[in-house]
Amino acid sequence: MTKGPTRAPHRGLLKALGLTNDEINRPLIGVANSWNEIIPGHLHLDKVAEAVCSGIRSAGGTPFRFGSIGICDGLAMNHVGMKYSLMSRELIADSIEVMATAHPFDALVLVPNCDKVTPGMLMGALRLNIPAIVVSGGPMLPGRYKNKTTDLITIFEAVGAQAAGKISEAELEDLAGHSCPGPGSCAGMFTANSMNCLSEALGLALPGNGTIPAVSADRIRLAKLSGEAVMNILSLNLRPRDLATPIAFQNALAVDMALGCSTNTTLHVPALAHEAGVAFTLKSINELSRKVPHLVSLSPGGLHHLTELNEVGGVMAVMKELAAAALVNPEALTVTGHPLGDSLDKAPGINDGVIIRSVTTPYHKEGGLAVLYGSLAPDGAVVKQSAVADIMLKHTGPARLFNSEEEATEAILAGRIKTGDVVVIRYEGPKGGPGMREMLTPTAAIIGLGLGEDVALITDGRFSGGSRGAVIGHVSPEAAEGGPIALLEEGDLIEIDIPNRVLDFKVEATELEQRRAFLPKFEPKIKTGYAARYTRDVSSGAHGAIMK
């Protein structure tokens, strides 16, 4: 873009920005920044991006910031806006590709936060395969209310408690004012923090990216170091696909299991693997889940938060414990320019084992996620088993059918769901939603009503990383594609057996054939604009809901 006589017009345009010849002749580094004023996780990203630029300049590069869209899943929850959350991931990936191709940067630094922005930016970087590093905005601090630690999920679950008369509306509002104390991605092991942690495990971010608090000076220092590091990997010509190898994905899945990450990682990790050209199936999750124990119990399934994990060494301390048990491969290269093992050597041990337990004394012997198969989910369904009460690991109950999240939420809050029921929300998958809405409102309402150990919820949509309980999502094939979930009728018995990875329903094959003959043709809910194109082109949740 800048070399030779034919590029004189290009240099003229760059000089219009006030750049000197020296700045134009340095490596040009794109800094993709999702800063905006509507998402708490993004409010401070202008400061993070400026620190990245400082690091780039100090290492001899010329930075150029450019913007990316982003959606706050919390603000989009339980209305039509949530249909567009997962959809935004593809737009973000495409925008990274478009910006860095039209303006051919030598390297990229990605500055995201929140659920779809981190995976979207990483997908774009893997697609481009130019030297790149990610540095997120980091997690929010937890809140405090009536001498208890709180976070966003505390508020969502309190909605159910208020509906049940356990707390007043004034108390609910007071809680809302104390549970999200400032900028950052929401404080538990929800989707944003899951993906920011896994970016470390994949070798695409510096140690600390997933856990250093948003408001810490360490976050600014990490951003400066990331700016310097991108110049180093540029000099080494170390590219994202050199790092995101099959070994790195195995390491990331092991960390996913040990941390009890969000079920949404089963959408984003396959999508990243697709861009990296790495073979991946949901069965890989079950293989790792059987071998890798659950070592860290963070909200929503546990009492701890990201700040506490950061204090005891963060992701690298977890990986050090896993590597000692041969569950992580320390030979994988990272954006440090060195093997993972070099970073693990510097990480602390697990000390007293309060936040990070040893592999011999885990919270659970199996990893945080499990994929279920059976007559209801031939292509798989996903559950965060580390957040399921023991009594609900095996459950059989009658289906209570709803064809939208709104219908189910109304029934739950109205008290129409009873002990033993299996709430089924269908036509909310990638095509059917469209956009595979998160079901945090109904799952949190179930918990708030005190039904978390009595009621299961199944959907072809998905769940927030903040959901807990016997909630099973990503049922594939989805109802809109004629999957078995579309054939369910009210009262059908559903069998859930998480230890044996089974999701079945008890209906004879001849009866199913009769039902299929009368199954109406699926009609898209949105027939214009981007959502209509997405409905047409999106793949199954079992394949990461990538675009065909």
464 is catalytic: yes
Say if strands 377-384 and 471-476 run parallel, antiparallel, or are unpaired.
Answer: antiparallel
Spatial distance between the Cα atoms of 111 and 115, rounded to a whole number of angstroms: 13
C-alpha 106/C-alpha 386 separation (Å) is 42
- DSSP state letters, 147-205: TEEE-HHHHHHHHHHHHTTSS-HHHHHHHHTTS--SSSB-SSS-HHHHHHHHHHHTTSS
Rounded CA gap, 504 and 489, in Å? 14
Residues shown for the chain = 548
480 to 97, 382, 538: CA distances (angstroms): 30, 18, 12
Question: What SS3 string covers 325-372?
Answer: CCCCCCCCECCCCCEHHHHHHHCCCCCCCCCECCCCCCCECCCCEEEE
Cβ-in-10-Å burial (0-12, 13-18, 19+) of 6 comes to: exposed
Write the CB contacts of 261 (distance below 8 Å, at least 6 apart in sequence): 189, 194, 197, 198, 255, 368, 369, 465
- Cβ–Cβ < 8 Å for 126, 412: no
Q: Which residue has the tokens 């279920």?
A: 372
Q: Which 3 state secondary structure label does DSSP give 425?
A: strand
Three-state SS across 214-253? CCCHHHHHHHHHHHHHHHHHHHHCCCHHHHCCHHHHHHHH
| Secondary structure (3-state) at 65 | strand
Q: Strand 422-425 and strand 394-402: pairing? A: parallel
Rounded distance, CA 304 to CA 312, Å? 12
Q: Which stretches does DSSP call E strand in 462-516?
A: 471-476, 493-497, 502-505
Of 136, 464, 476, 540, the catalytic one is 464
Q: Which two tokens stand for residue 444?
A: 């949190």
Task: Report the catalytic residues.
Answer: 464
